Amino acid sequence: MRHARRRVVRRVTRLAAVGGLLLGGAMVTRAVASEPSATTAPRTFAQSSADMGTGLVSKLGTSRTAGTWLGADGRPVVAVTDEGAAAEVRRAGAEAKLVPHSMNELKSAASTLRSAPRVAGTAWVMDYRTNRVVVQADSSVSASDWSGMTRVADGIGSFVRTERVKGSFTTRVNGAQPILSTGGRCSAGFNVTNGQSDFILTAGHCGPSGSIWFSDNQGTRQIGRTVQQSFPGNDWSLVQYASGKAGDGADVVAVGGGKGVRITGVADPTVGQRVFRSGSTSGLRNGQVTGLNATVNYPEGTVTGLIETNVCAEPGDSGGPMFSEGVALGVTSGGSGDCTTGGTTFFQPVTKALSALGVRMIVSAQAGSGAGQSAAPAPAASATHSAIAPGAASPGSSATVTGGAEASTLLSRLTDPRNIGPGLLVLAGSLVALVATRFIRAEQDRKAYRRHYSTTWG
C-alpha cells in the first residue's frame, strides 16, 4: 500500500512538472510575441504633407516662396511669388497661394527689427498665412517705447503689422516631470545621449551651468547637474544624470496620471500643425503652430528662432516637451497668458538644440533598432494613408511612465506578466521538480535493491 502511494505521488509530481514546462514555455512565447518590434512607427499623412511643403520651398528658393503651412484639409500650402512657381507647386500635389512678398523680404524686415533698440516685452514672428511680419507688445511696454517700435515697423512697409497683446512675455520657470533646484522649478523635456552619458534636454533659462537638480522638495533624490546652457540667444540646457544613465522609460514623456507618450523621432514643426505640450503645472495641452522663427524680447534677454503656438502654459512648465504623433518638436521657453484665459507659448526647436549640443534623442525601439538611436525624422507615410486635417493629430503611442523614484526592482520586473520573467521562473521550477523526482526515484530504487540482496548475503 505504501509503495502504491509513493508511485501516485511520483506520477502526480512528474505530471505537474511537465505541465509547468508547457505553461512556462507558453508564457515566454506570449511575452516575446508581445514585445514591440523594432520597426518604424506608423506616421500620419500630416507629417508627409509637411515634408512635401518644406521640400518645395527648399527647391524653389526663398526669392520665389514665402513659407509653407498645413491647410484645414491637411494638404500643404506653399506661398509663392510668381505663376511659374505656383504651377510647379500644383504639379507636386500641393496648394499654391500667390503673395506679394518673398521670404527674403520677410527676413529683411525681421533683421531691421532686430537692429532697432531692444524693447523688453516685445516679440515678432513671420506669419506665412497672411504674408506679414507681426510685431507684438505686451502690457509691460510703455507708450513711448511702443511708439518708437511702431515707427520702426511703419518704416519697413505695410506688410509689417503691429498689435498689443494681453499679459506679459515671461519665461515659465517654476512640467512633464518636475525638476527642482535652489534656482526654481522647471520641467524635464526629453532624454538625450552622446553615446557615453545620458542627459535631460530642458530650457536654458531654468538655471546656469552647475545647477544641481532634484526630483523632490527635500533635496534628497538628486537627478543631476546642468553641464551646458545657452540663454539668452537660445533657450536650451543639458542636465547630466548623476548615474550617467536615464534608465527604463527614457523614450517616454509624461502626460499625467502615470501615463506617457513614446518618442519615436525628431522633426521641425509646420505652421498649422496640431501639437501637444506637457508640463507638471498645467498637464497635457494642445493647440496649433502659428509661426516660426519668432523673436521674443524677454526681460532677461532676447531669444530668436522660436516656434510660436497658441498652446497655453503656466509658470513651472518651462523646459517641458512639445510633440505630435510621437515626434519631438520643442521644449517650452515662455509666453503670455495662462490656461484659464488662453495665451501664446514659444518653444525652442529641438533640432537646433541637438545639433548645437552634439547629442541625439533617445527614441523608442519602434523607430529604429533600440532606444538611444539617432533620431532622424522618420520616413514619410506610405500612400495608403488617408490625408487628415491637422486637428486630427494625436500625441503619439501611449506608454506607462517609469523611472526616477518609481523605477521597478528586479523582482517586480521578473514577476510582471508582460515580461518573460514569470515564464522563465515557471520553467526553472518545473525543471528542478522533474530532476528532483527522478533523483528521488533512483535513490529509492537503489535502496530497495540493497535491501533485497542484503537478505541473501547471510
- Give the residue numbers marked as catalytic: 205, 235, 318
The one-letter code for the residue type at 377 is P
The CA-CA-CA angle for residues 51, 371, 313, to 5°, reads 60
CA dist., res. 332 & res. 306, Å (int): 10
CA dist., res. 132 & res. 259, Å (int): 40
CA dist., res. 400 & res. 413, Å (int): 14
CA dist., res. 325 & res. 392, Å (int): 10
Q: Which residue has the cell 496649433?
A: 288
Q: SS3 for 252? A: strand
Cell of 253: 514623456
> What size, in residues, is the chain?
458
346 contacts 307 by C-beta, under 8 angstroms? yes
R_g of the chain, CA atoms, integer Å? 30
Q: SS3 for 150? A: helix
Closest C-alpha among 55, 88, 70, 81 to residue 129: 70
Cell of 24: 512556462
Find residue 137's DSSP bridge partners: 122, 164
CA dist., res. 174 & res. 254, Å (int): 17
Cell of 275: 501639437
CA dist., res. 96 & res. 81, Å (int): 10
Exposure pattern of 256-276 as b/e (b: 16+ CB <10 Å)?
A: eeeebbbbbbbbbbbbbbbbb
The one-letter code for the residue type at 437 is T
